[in-house]
Amino acid sequence: MSTPLTITRPVGRSRAVRSPVHRAPQRRRPATPAEQAEFLRTTVQSLAVAVVEVLTGARASSSIARWIAPELQERIRTHAALRQDLARAVAPRGHVFTPGRPRLCMIGDSAVEACVVVRAARRHRAVAMRLEHMHGRWLVTEFVSV
């Protein structure tokens, strides 16, 4: 007859195996004003650079659709297409856009207006935008670039 099957543990493991602990999901505490301001500063910088890249033809307008209101996205897409039609040459792909320090103005709990200067090699752009908190996320509803 054959011997019964026995299972042995590998030698050398010193850690005990823990079973997962299932906890009820905890509510995320509201962000402090300082945490919220820092989050908004980095968001404004990133979005300003992304929109300027779309306007100059260096980025597809669909890449920012999640953070831009639909009406504004259509205006940006139209402007970028018009710029591409009027441009004498292909949009430069090697430009690096660098955002400056944004200035924020909170309008209540659900809106913020911001401005930031976006620098490129030969041109600086002043950018102003309005973000509104809708459905649990921040959305750009207005944008002006000079």
Distance, CA of 93 to CA of 107 (rounded, Å): 36
**Residue-wise pLDDT tens for the chain (146 aa)?**
455 555 555 565 555 556 566 666 555 555 677 788 899 999 999 999 999 999 988 889 899 999 999 999 999 999 888 888 887 666 556 678 999 999 999 998 889 999 999 998 888 999 999 999 998 889 999 999 98
**Cα dihedral sign for 131, 144, 107, 116?**
positive
Does the model's pTM come out above 0.75? Answer: no
Contact between 116 and 109 under an 8 Å Cβ cutoff? The reply is: no
User: How many beta carbons lie within 10 A of that of residue 143, not counting itself?
Assistant: 22
Ordered structural domains, the chain, with CATH: 33-145 (3.10.450.50)
Structure tokens that stand for 113 in this block: 């207006």
Structure tokens that stand for 8 in this block: 């042995």
Contact between 140 and 128 under an 8 Å Cβ cutoff? The reply is: no
